[in-house]
Amino acid sequence: MKAAVYYSNNDIRVEDVPKPKPGPGELLVRIMASGVCGSDVMEWYRIKKAPIILGHEIAGMVEEAGEGVTRFKVGDRVTVAHHIPCNTCSSCLAGNHSVCDTLRTTNFDPGGFCEFVRVPAINVDRGVFTLPSSMTFEEGSFSEPLGCVVRGMKRSGFSPGKSVLVIGSGISGILHIKLAKALGAGKIVASDINQHRLDAAIKAGADLAVPATDDVAEAVKDANGGAKADFVAICAGADAAIKTGLASVERGGTVIFFAPKEPGETYPMPLFDLWRDNINIVNSYASCPADTLTALKLIETGRVTVEDMISDRLSLDEAAKGFRLVTEASSSMKVIIEPNR
């Protein structure tokens, strides 16, 4: 089968690789849509594993069902979670599925930027979801990134009426805006360095979009009756984004760090200010199957629309272009690879 193999952000090669075969309890899924995630182009995170077939935001059709599989059949339209928790360790039992050792070591084989993936039995058991008949494959591929945002919002204790600041209006930032609006947020302000993304934030439901070069904290106060934001989602790992986020949160508010920095990098936290103002700091990584299911329901009911976020639909042969579009943060928003176009 054909696969787009990652050697670096600037070196994506379409190669012939062995087509996987499902064993007992497993599935073979024909990939119809695979989203390029921002983490796919975090070179510091990916390069040490190269060459590798990336891609974890997938939707497709069951091509083969291994012995013993009864819940799914050939032709079923599905989305597949790549990381799966054990559901039995102390972390899972406490509701902290994304720090489960099993979740951090499971995956499908080989990755989403190819024609077919083998879905291991543990993923089949709790990480494969049938797509509603009204949902396209492209929409289904958003179940993973939206699921991650769902988890972050749950961990933050978000509730209706809270004012929101989203820093970084890429895919994760736009999904935060859309979900906050669906959950009944108060004023929503977005910030970014890219005008195209600021425009996208307004289209997604933000009340105000502020260039990152402006005084974002003051803009939030002006828009919010003199108060800072109750909830700040930092969806960019730059120091400037972190500084802005911490300066823009209201007393008793919450800051969620949704984008990572490179391993070993630090940021000087104003601990006295955070202590004095009772600021809640939340981190969020990945999602669990329940979050994926919630994301699918939000998309199915139209509470969160995602089709309008797709800017590019590319063939597998155009995967290098897709990586370039995401890396350059151009006017593109969501890039979808369609291996079996």
* Predicted confidence (pLDDT) per residue in 112-151, tens digit: 999 999 999 999 999 999 999 999 999 999 999 999 999 9
- As to burial, measured by CB atoms within 10 angstroms (0-12 exposed, 13-18 middle, 19+ buried), residue 124 is buried
- Give the pair of three-digit tokens for residue 288: 């669990």
Running DSSP on this structure, what letter comes out for residue 114?
B
Two structure tokens written together for 297: 């329901």
- pLDDT of residue 329 exceeding 80, the answer is no
pLDDT at position 332, please? 87
Query: Do the beta carbons of residue 112 and residue 34 sit within 8 Å?
Result: yes
Q: Please state the separation of Cα 1 from the chain's center in Å.
A: 27
- For residue 254, give Cα distances in angstroms to 90, 156, 163, 257: 26, 7, 11, 10
Compute the distance between CA of residue 154 and CA of residue 184 in angstroms, rounded to an integer. 14
Average pLDDT over residues 213-225: 97
Above pLDDT 70, what percent of the chain? Answer: 100
**Phi/psi at 164 (5° precision):** -135, 140
C-alpha span between 184 and 206 (Å, rounded): 12
Distances (CA, A) of 239 to 198, 260, 314, 339: 20, 11, 33, 37
Arithmetic mean of pLDDT over the chain = 96
Separation between Cα atoms, residue 96 and residue 221, nearest integer Å:
34
Please give the class, per CATH, of domain 149-283: alpha beta
Look-up: residue for tokens 């940021």? 267
Helix, strand, coil shares, percent, the chain, to 5: 35, 25, 40
Torsion-angle region of 67 (φ positive above 0: left; ψ -120 to 50: alpha; else: beta):
beta
CATH superfamily of 2-142+306-338: Medium-chain alcohol dehydrogenases, catalytic domain (3.90.180.10)
Question: Is the preceding omega at residue 160 within 30 degrees of 0, hence cis?
Answer: no
Which residue in 56, 65, 151 sits closest to 107, CA to CA? 56
Q: Would you tell me how many other CB atoms lie within 10 Å of the CB of residue 22?
A: 24
pLDDT in tens, 29-88: 999 999 999 999 999 889 999 999 999 999 999 999 999 999 999 999 999 999 999 999
247 vs 216: CA distance, rounded Å: 9
**What are the pLDDT digits (tens) for 152-179?**
999 999 999 999 999 999 999 999 999 9
Residue partners of 217: CB distance under 8 A and separation at least 6: 228, 244, 247, 248
Band of residue 328 on the pLDDT scale cut at 50, 70, 90 = confident
Instruction: Tell me the domain boundaries of the chain.
Output: 2-142+306-338, 149-283
Looking at 251-340, list the stretches that DSSP marks H as alpha helix, in order from N- to C-terminal side: 271-276, 289-300, 319-327
CA dihedral of 236, 329, 105, 82, whole degrees rounded to 10: 120
The pLDDT tens digits for 282-308 are 999 999 999 999 999 999 999 999 999
- Name the token pair of 333: 């928003």
Q: Look at the block and give the residue holding tokens 């009204």.
A: 134
